[in-house]
Structure 1
């Protein structure tokens, strides 16, 4: 039995009735189910989802104030007023700035951009920057991906005589800034979709300014939309779908240079943006000023673009190293400190631009919410980021102690904060208390949402390609995770470090490869003929021109008890799981210093339940082993015993042989084995041990006397059967034990152990809604 690392949740189906009777679109049952889970309940919705159409984008005029803002921009252009675009330092902010800069430059505007420094200015508009803009002659400021909470800065702009247009997508606060115009879907009741990224809002404004649909800006819209993790549905799906195609065929020097340093060839996917392009753009703002990233996307010079892209790649590698160094230091702090249910680590000098990434890595490693803070002794404060587990709402619990924070904001799974260093211990105590009140131990595990159960015969290249029609995947349209429950035909560790797990499944004539990267340690937990439950994605493995569907493992569990057979292997390389285990061995054996060890003489009533039982010695009585199993209730048993002198393989003397030998002794009256042993051995073909064993049984039964190797018959022995001899019974019993536990085949041995395990529940078939 093996526990999964994550909690597996099963996606329920949408409750609305579904009509898939239209033959104009062919869908497999699996894809129909996936669409229904996404709330798609008729064929027309399915068609729009599978084939996104630009025509389904909403008109920008439905956004409040957008026409008023566009008129103001055109007036500024006509009057030669200077326009400043004020952006943010992440990938959404950089792409938003690029979109609006390109639109304004196309219109002939006198424009420039400004992105604040994360370390010296912090997030969002600030008074100093606005005053500098006024001094430099800017009459109009347009924010992108920021500004909706900048009440004070809006007042400053007004005092300076600057018109301020705010374009943003973040949550509006109770008080909105007073400015010339706010372009924000969530501030526009008439606008049908409220989940645009900052770049989506900027794209809408650019469309309004240009008076036509700016297809040439779609590639930048895709970067911010995907990198900012907004829901990839409705308009975001359309922008990402066409934007990825635009990135694939892009002639923009900056995009082409970025693709080269990322080694992206062929069709650009959402994973390319999310894991390669986006992180590189983000890295600039995390470590330096994000201006370089905007300049990369704006330049028309291929050579300059290549130099910038390579510089950004270097910065991203520096970011990776900084993250890894901080993560290693954070691990040392965690593992050398008292255990807490919420991890909080703090150290002076940690780069605040990467602390959220470090917190995410700590959450994945320890399955605990994590706060990573940099200590600022000059102000006696700490500043950093938090990441949480699904079951713990960090924002709501943080708000319960809002008075302890100087600054605090975020959402359920992520937050940012600043607070006095002296409050650190109290924050730790409060959050530990909250999480213990709310959660059970099972709640700390990460979650995997499973869309459906598949079998080997249903998985093929055609199904993988059909599921790919649901892409681009992202928030509210996750890449489907499936469950596979099968017995592998082969399992092995692969890779130069043997750290990957490869499984082969066979069903009739069909085979399926399954790979678990970095999961090589699970090989030790797989026993023969055992069904594995795997959670993972479907993919295509292409090798030497051959394409084949494969299953990419994310998690694994085994629901049945397991037997691991290491019998007779002297150099047994047994994987010892030191947690919740028990070893049965002789008193002179020492199997593992960190595992409880007993002998068959141990009082079983003193033993607790154990997950795993390692057996290094055969019992002298089967009931001894049965008692240990019933008391400790293991679900994994390792048979590790070896026999040097086998009773079972040594032929047991027959009753006729006993009769012959006794007749010889009675005839001779006295038999001296010192002189006649070899004669008997030669005559009967018996071993010395055989003769001694027969003699000893007769001696125990009182049929003979033995002294110094001389056997003398008793004159009036009591009538007894051979089975009355304890020695005879022990020999029979030992042979039977060896037959049952040592010389049986794997299935026979497993059946014997199963007969000792009355505590095992008969598994009921899992009922899963819609699966």
Structure 2
């Protein structure tokens, strides 16, 4: 009818595909993801990206996946879905957007704190002899179970299940996170102890009777008796520190601008790093900053023990993702500072 209303919302399909972890090797999905990142239109998302210090003219999928998307879903995890709905319905600029964004960021910071505290609390309950991490925590709630399960899965390199109270007094309900090696959803569906399971191959929910918790543990250990947790770190390319510069990082960032399910962010081994200093930073003291000449290493979601283990005045090599942190200062004089960074997964000393 000679209207073009859909053009005003052309950025939303790509964000939806990325948020739901759809395949990013599918060309149609990549097309819509590119529309989202290169043609941001949504008034609320513009304000949220800017408030989280992302460059609106140089957005990547990781900015959305690990920045903005968790901030929006933090509202639903806090049982405040109306806040998320109100935010997403802000398709035009309005005075209320800044207030909504402020609330989303506040809830997201709270989510990070709860998630970090839960990981510390639950680690002592993990039986590392089990093929699947299974823990019970009644305080987290449905909105946080999956996030904590994901952290436990990454930490122990195996599937993880976090359970809490179910629909009735005699049941547990919770979330699972699996690995790319096999379908955790199908495996749980084959367990006699599981009343219900649903979701995706690697992420979903389940319910079982409390009396069957040990049966589930035995079933999973049996099905995965030949499974060996692989905590190896894999990387795409390796560089000497002397090869790393702004041009290289910009080139790699452009290549990996659209990442996600089945098209992962590039990981690189950087050699020849010399540690000159280290700092423990962040509101919860869970981020370690390591100075290595022209490259700054950042380790997120860690603790003081990791900080203490980092050797100063030593040579190391590290695996992670490369990034440029751009910091703008407007007073007393406008100044732009660029810092080359490596978001590290792990390091090791070299001799």
Structure-1-length-normalised TM-score: 0.39
Identify the residue that residue 463 of structure 1 maps to in structure 2: 248
2:11 to 219, 230, 248: 219
1:311 aligns with 2:103: yes
Residue 427 of structure 1 deviates from its aligned partner by 0.3
Structure-to-structure mapping, 1:254-403, within 5 angstroms: 254-259=44-49, 261-267=51-57, 268-288=59-79, 290-299=81-90, 300=92, 302-334=94-126, 340-376=130-166, 378-391=168-181, 393-401=183-191, 403=192
1:238 and 2:238 matched: no
| d(CA) in 1 for partners of 2:151, 2:121 | 12
- Quote the offset at 1:236 in angstroms: 1.8
Deviations 1:60-82 (CA, angstroms, capped at 9, x unpaired)? xxxxxxxxxxxxxxxxxxxxxxx
2:261 aligned residue (451, 456, 475): 475
Which residue is 2:227 aligned to? 439
Other structure's SS at 2:95 match: helix
SS of 2:258's equivalent?
Answer: coil
Residues 41-190 of structure 1 aligned to structure 2 (within 5 Å): none
2:286 counterpart of 1:500: no
Q: Does 1:426 align with 2:212?
A: no
1:587-602 equivalence runs, <5 A: none
Change (3 A) 1:453 1:265: closer
Do the aligned residues in 2 keep the contact of 1:493 with 1:499 (CA within 8 Å)? no
- After TM superposition, give the deviation of residue 356 of structure 1 in Å: 0.3
| 2:275 equivalent among 487, 491, 495 | 491
Higher RCO (CA 8 Å, separation ≥ 6 residues): 2
Helix, strand or coil at the partner of 2:175? strand
Q: CA offset at residue 462 of structure 1?
A: 1.9
Cα 1:214–1:332 change in 2 (3 A) is same
Q: Is the 8 A contact 2:289 2:296 kept in 1?
A: no
Distance 1:326 1:224 in 2: 28
The separation in 2 between residues aligned to 1:328 and 1:553, in whole angstroms, is 20
> Structure 1's 484 and 312: CA in aligned 2 closer, same or farther, altered over 3 A?
closer
**Equivalents in 1 of 2:120, 2:239: separation in Å?**
39
From the superposition, tell whether residues 232 and 286 of structure 1 become closer, same or farther in structure 2 (CA, over 3 Å): same
**Are 1:492 and 1:523, in contact at CA under 8 Å, matched by a contact in 2?**
no
Residue 400 of structure 1, CA deviation: 3.2
Shift, 1:357, TM fit: 0.3
What are the superposed Cα offsets for residues 407-455 of structure 1, whole Å, 9 maximum, x if unpaired? Answer: 11344432311111111110012212333x2223xx341x544222223
Q: Distance between the aligned counterparts of 1:394 and 1:298, measured in 2?
A: 35
| Cα distance change, pair 377–228 in 1 and its aligned pair in 2 (3 A) | closer
Q: What is the aligned counterpart of 1:515 among 292, 297, 301?
A: 297
Map residues 619-638 of structure 1 onto 2, 5 A cutoff.
none
Q: What is the alpha-carbon distance in structure 2 between the residues aligned to residue 345 and residue 521 of structure 1? A: 28
8 Å CA contact 1:514, 1:553 repeated in 2? no
Decide whether the 8 Å contact of 1:501 with 1:522 is kept in 2: no
1:554 aligned to which of 342, 345, 349:
345
**Structure 1 residues 548 and 301: alpha-carbon distance in aligned structure 2, compared to 1, 3 A threshold:** closer
Q: 1:493, CA displacement in angstroms?
A: 3.3
Give secondary structure in 1 for the equivalent of 2:16.
helix
Once residues 323 and 465 of structure 1 are traced to their aligned partners in structure 2, the CA distance between those partners, rounded to angstroms, is: 32
Stretches of structure 1 lacking an aligned partner (at least 5 in a row)? 1-106, 108-209, 505-511, 563-771
CA separation of 1:307/1:491 partners in 2, compared to 1, >3 Å: closer, same or farther? closer
Instruction: Work out the CA distance in 1 between the residues paired with 2:93 and 2:340.
Output: 42
- Are the equivalent residues in 1 in contact too, given 2:166–2:207 (CA < 8 A)? no
- Count of residues paired in the alignment: 330
* SS of alignment partner, residue 480 of structure 1: coil
With over 3 angstroms needed to count, the CA separation of the structure-2 counterparts of 1:540 and 1:314, relative to structure 1, is closer
1:540 equivalent to 2:316? Answer: no
| Structure index of larger Rg | 1
Cα displacement string for residues 338-364 of structure 1 (whole angstroms, at most 9, x for unaligned residues): 853322112434311210001112223
Distance 1:368 1:476, change over 3 A: closer
Unmatched segments (≥5 aa) in structure 2: 282-286, 328-334
Q: CA deviation at 1:384?
A: 0.5
Query: 1:278 Cα deviation (Å)?
Result: 1.1
Q: Greater strand share, 1 or 2?
A: 2
- Distance verdict in 2 for CA 1:305–1:444, change over 3 Å: same
Equivalence for 2:236:
451
CA distance in 2, matches of 1:552, 1:289: 32
Contact 1:493 / 1:523 at 8 angstroms: preserved in 2?
Answer: no
d(CA) in 1 for partners of 2:275, 2:242? 19
Q: CA deviation at 1:219?
A: 2.4
Q: Does the 8 Å CA contact 1:391/1:444 hold for their aligned counterparts? A: no
Report how far residue 375 of structure 1 moved.
2.0
State which of 391, 409, 420 in structure 1 corresponds to 2:198: 409
- Displacement after TM superposition at 1:378 (Å): 3.4
User: Deviation digits for residues 611-661 of structure 1, max 9, x if unmatched?
Assistant: xxxxxxxxxxxxxxxxxxxxxxxxxxxxxxxxxxxxxxxxxxxxxxxxxxx
Against the structure 1 CA distance between its residues 227 and 492, is the aligned structure 2 distance closer, same or farther, given a 3 Å change threshold?
same
Q: Within 2, Cα distance between the matches of 1:464 and 1:219? A: 26
Shift of 1:321: 4.3
How has the CA–CA distance of structure 1 residues 545 and 254 changed in structure 2, closer, same or farther, with 3 Å as cutoff? closer
- RMSD over aligned CA atoms reads 3.3
Contact 1:460 1:548 survives alignment (8 Å):
no
- Residue of structure 1 in register with 2:330 after alignment: none
Using the alignment, how far apart are the partners of 1:496 and 1:289 within structure 2?
A: 33
